[in-house]
Amino acid sequence: MDYPGNLFVVAAPSGTGKSSLVKALMEVDAGVAPSVSHTTRAPRGQEKDGREYFFISNDDFDGMVARGDFLEWALVHGNRYGTSRRAIEQRIGSGGDVVLEIDWQGALQIKRLFPDAILVFVLPPSLDELRARLTRRGEDAPDVIELRLCNAAEELAQAENFDFVIINEIFERALFDLKAIVHAQRLKYIAQRRARPDTFKALNIV
Ligand code: 5GP
């Protein structure tokens, strides 16, 4: 189905700075809405149910999978995460843009369902820097950090399946890159024609 809104999907190994980038994008661009995923993992730190995630039990997650409530879901670092179908379809169906901040497995599932989805992969500048960021963040125990770094090698190889790659070395530069990707989508012929029908009509462009 052809939806008028854009579906941006941002994936990256954890610690790459993906969440900060997406958050900063939404602060400067009210046209892009986030999607709140469901997860079976426990809340961390200040996380609040319904804000960062909907924190649900394994049984409830099973129920949502069985009912087809998820557009995609994946097992990431031992916990399940899923994107609920209804909110996304409503928003892009009514012409709004959505950004999904999900893992690469989910991103590829989304691309199969929505070939027009724009897949963005965020890379760290180096593995050493990734380890330093995970350690500095202080959210995960050392064994969890090691697991995340082990998984990162496989995750990084997925970058080739994405439409765009951002290297998050300097945050402001990476944010500029993400904004440029979003902006470029809105300049596409089909998007401009939808956004400015009167201009197109006045110019006799069909
Ligand atoms: P964290 O536990 O650090 O919040 O997230 C772990 C990973 O799961 C991150 O890569 C995050 O982007 C991903 N993730 C969050 N929500 C979803 C989702 O709905 N679907 C998928 N496939 N991955 C998700």
- The pLDDT of residue 151 is 85
Contacts of 120 (CB under 8 A, 6+ apart): 8, 9, 10, 11, 162, 163, 164, 165, 166, 178, 181
Kindly report, residue by residue over 175-193, the tens digit of the pLDDT.
999 999 999 999 999 999 9
The answer on whether 13 is annotated among ligand-binding residues is yes
Percent of the residues in the chain that have a pLDDT greater than 90, as a whole number: 83
Distance 35 CA to ligand 1 centre (A): 11
Kindly report, residue by residue over 15-29, the tens digit of the pLDDT.
899 999 999 999 999
162: nearest Cα among 148, 180, 181: 181
- The pLDDT of residue 19 is 93
Whether ligand 1 lies within 6 angstroms of the CB of 61 is answered as no
Q: Pocket of ligand 1, candidates 19, 36, 37: which has the most ligand atoms within 8 Å of its Cβ, to mutate?
A: 37
Average pLDDT on 122-149 reads 89
- The pLDDT of residue 41 is 96
Is residue 3 predicted with pLDDT exceeding 90? no
Distances (CA, A) of 115 to 9, 79, 107, 123, 145: 12, 27, 11, 23, 34
Whether ligand 1 lies within 6 angstroms of the CB of 35 is answered as no
Q: Is the ipTM of this complex over 0.95?
A: yes
The answer on whether 48 is annotated among ligand-binding residues is no
More confident residue, 42 or 146: 42
Average pLDDT on 52-64 reads 97
Distance 6 CA to ligand 1 centre (A): 20
The answer on whether 14 is annotated among ligand-binding residues is yes
Distance 129 CA to ligand 1 centre (A): 21
Q: Using pLDDT thresholds of 50, 70 and 90, give the confidence band for residue 56.
A: very high
The answer on whether 66 is annotated among ligand-binding residues is no
Distance 197 CA to ligand 1 centre (A): 38
73: nearest Cα among 122, 106, 100: 106
- The pLDDT of residue 1 is 64
